[in-house]
Amino acid sequence: MYSEAHEHRWQNRSAHITSEGWIRYAGCYCGAHRVVVDDAVIAAAPENRGDIPRVG
């Protein structure tokens, strides 16, 4: 998925309830993102490596 060059410090950016459970969108200071439903990570995106423009 992505390089674990450091221990990520996930911070929830937003959350809401769905029929599948609580869904949370989290980010790390390095630019990596992940989506968590209840306690299961269902998607993750790599940290910004410089070749992918950061949005926001």
Contact predicate 46/2, CB 8 Å: yes
What's the pTM value of the predicted model, to 2 decimals?
Answer: 0.64
Q: How many domains does the chain have?
A: 1
Residue 48: per-residue pLDDT = 56
Structural domain contains residue 56: no
Residue 35: per-residue pLDDT = 92
Q: Which domain holds residue 41?
A: 1-51
pLDDT tens per residue across all 56 residues of the chain: 444 567 888 999 999 999 989 999 999 888 888 999 998 888 887 765 554 445 44
Residue 1: per-residue pLDDT = 45
Residue 43: per-residue pLDDT = 80
In angstroms, the CA 55 to CA 6 distance is: 22
Contact predicate 44/4, CB 8 Å: no
In angstroms, the CA 49 to CA 38 distance is: 29
